[in-house]
Chain A
Amino acid sequence: MEKKDLKVLVVGEFEVINAAIQIAVDLYGVQCEVVSIEDAEEIIFVGDYTHIIVALERDDDREKGIIFHNLLKIRLPAWRKSAKLFKAGISNVTADDYIRVPSNVMDDIATKIILA
Chain B
Amino acid sequence: MIKKIIVVEDKTEELQKACDLVMAKGFMPLACSTNEDAVDTIKKYQGKGLVGILTDLHFPVREGGSPEGASGLHVVYKALEAGIPVVICSNIDHHKADWANDLVGAIEKATGKKVAGFVQDSKNWERALGLLLNENKGD
- A contact set with B: CB distance below 8 Å: 41-42, 45-46, 67, 70-71, 74-75, 77-80
Contacts and interface: CB of A to CB of B under 8 A. Distances in A.
B32 A74 contact: yes
A41 B16 contact: no
Interface in B14-50: 15-16, 19-20, 23, 28-33, 37, 40
Interface of B: 2, 7, 12, 15-16, 19-20, 23, 28-33, 37, 40, 63
B63 A75 contact: no
Contacts of A41: 28, 30
Q: Give the interface centre of B2, B29, B31, B32 by most chain A CB atoms within 10 Å.
A: B31
A79 B18 CA distance: 11
B31 A45 contact: no
Given A74-B32, A74-B33, A45 B2 contact: yes
Contact of A75 (B2, B12, B20, B30): B30
Q: Give the interface centre of B16, B23, B30, B63 by most chain A CB atoms within 10 Å.
A: B30
Contact of B31 (A42, A46, A67, A74): A74
